[in-house]
Structure 1
């Protein structure tokens, strides 16, 4: 029988809670997307996050540790996050949530394609095959040629690509910054 220690169990519970929270948030955005402008939804979300996490950062790390060492990259990372989320919210307001979510998963494909250039990582044949298969899956979701492609579809793909660049910058910063500044 598999034994879970407290750390593993806590990690599992937190992962389930986070996944559930993200799914509920996406559902709320889908519901409210037609009622409120995306900019208003984004403003509310990021204001709430700032007010929630700033005290936690101050308590855990103190004021001297919460200022980023790489201010420009952190700023760029934040802008990319906002743009990616705005595109995603636009997409789920215009296409089914499942399609938008699936299309955003182009980001691991973009990350895999860019890591040899950005980090010098070697990408093997199996991973390149997985990228090609994943890209074919994206094409199946988009269904080019069978129906008119909606702007929501383009927004979801753009969100995934921008999110990939966000993740690449996050990886670059992960060795130099306090973990909660790159979370």
Structure 2
């Protein structure tokens, strides 16, 4: 008599959730801070604008065969085109300002300030989309911005104007998320991700071409060495892998469970920043980080509790892989 083993659906579901959690934690603590570390390193050697362009170009290049294999030619041009292009432009602005930010500031400080993005999304949702945002979430937004001020400490002379760059990156990223929310498309996420990289590559090619032709600070590209080209390729590979891993993580685990894990990126950034650049956040910076993280988590979890529709991108400020 043969006894056939049957699969336990509960155990299988739990295993899938664990896999999703591990994937998200690994992305937040290793992949994304690692990519940002390479970005900061290269930004001190070649123009940050060129680094941002290479990130978008190689992301496009390495995503292309995946889109073609899974969806063919139709997957290369997701609709609606207008919103897809606008989405790409906002993400391009985010990548550029963030690249400049991590080049000029300690890694963990810059990333912590970008974490105000979900708070800005909440404010924009009320102002632009006319969604109902109650006094509790408005309070969380204000408290989170106070946390950002604790990190920046205006007048302290710590970062100067450079501290505004991650705030600008957070605003651009929040606009990117709002546009993502308005997309009425059923295009696959990886297809949209590819098209965003296409738009970003095209947009950032314009100032670099102008710099190549007539010169000028910031926009004039340099000739990378073989090692620098290799590192630029690595940035694009990590960006593509991170997005794929996040897609798979969200297909296995509840978004509410993955949301807090994105904040582990600050831990990874602190470790990479200390090991590679000798930077480590001071006490006041950690106070600001705690305030921002607490406010961001409250906004996301409160929105879910009252059943406000949130796109997967804003479960954490880096889900869209800045």
Whether these two folds match at TM > 0.5 is yes
Structure 1's unaligned 5+ residue stretches are none
Q: 1:151 aligns with which of 156, 161, 171?
A: 161
Task: Indicate whether 1:25 and 2:25 are aligned.
Answer: no
1:133 paired residue among 133, 143, 155: 143
- Matching residue of 1:5: 14
In the TM superposition, residue 147 of structure 1 has moved relative to its aligned partner by 2.4
Do residues 61 (structure 1) and 74 (structure 2) align? no
Larger Rg, first or second structure (1 or 2)? 2
Does the 8 A contact of 1:92 with 1:152 survive in 2?
no
Task: State the alpha-carbon separation in 1 of the partners of residues 91 and 118 from structure 2.
Answer: 16
Gap change, CA 1:85 and 1:73, over 3 Å in 2: same
Over 3 Å counting, the alpha-carbon distance change for 1:150 and 1:71 in structure 2 is same
- Give the 3 Å change call, closer, same or farther, for CA 122–37 of structure 1 in structure 2: same
Partner Cα separation in structure 2 for residue 102 and residue 87 of structure 1: 14
Give, in whole Å, the separation in 2 of the partners of 1:48 and 1:18: 19
Q: In structure 1, what is the equivalent of residue 217 of structure 2?
A: none
1:99–1:141 contact (8 Å) kept in structure 2: yes
CA distance in 1, matches of 2:89, 2:169: 12
SS in 1 for 2:54: helix
CA distance in structure 1 between the aligned counterparts of 2:111 and 2:183, rounded to whole angstroms: 26
Residue of structure 2 in register with 1:16 after alignment: 25
| Inter-partner Cα distance in structure 2 for 1:65 and 1:88 | 28
> Within 5 A, what are the aligned runs for 1:43-122?
43-122=53-132
Aligned mates of 2:131, 2:185 — CA distance in 1: 16
Q: Is the 8 A contact 1:103 1:156 kept in 2?
A: yes
Shift of 1:82: 1.4
Distance of 1:91 and 1:174 partners within structure 2: 33
Query: Hey, what's the Cα distance between the residues in 2 that align with 1:13 and 1:51?
Result: 27
C-alpha displacement of 1:176: 4.0
Q: Once the 2 structures are TM-superposed, how far is the Cα of residue 40 of structure 1 from its aligned partner?
A: 2.4
TM-fit CA distance, 1:169: 0.8
Deviations 1:135-176 (A, max 9, x none): 110111111133265232111111111111011111112644
Q: CA shift at 1:118, angstroms?
A: 3.4
CA root-mean-square deviation: 2.1
TM-superposed CA distance for 1:88, in Å, is: 0.8
Superposition deviation, residue 114 in structure 1: 1.0
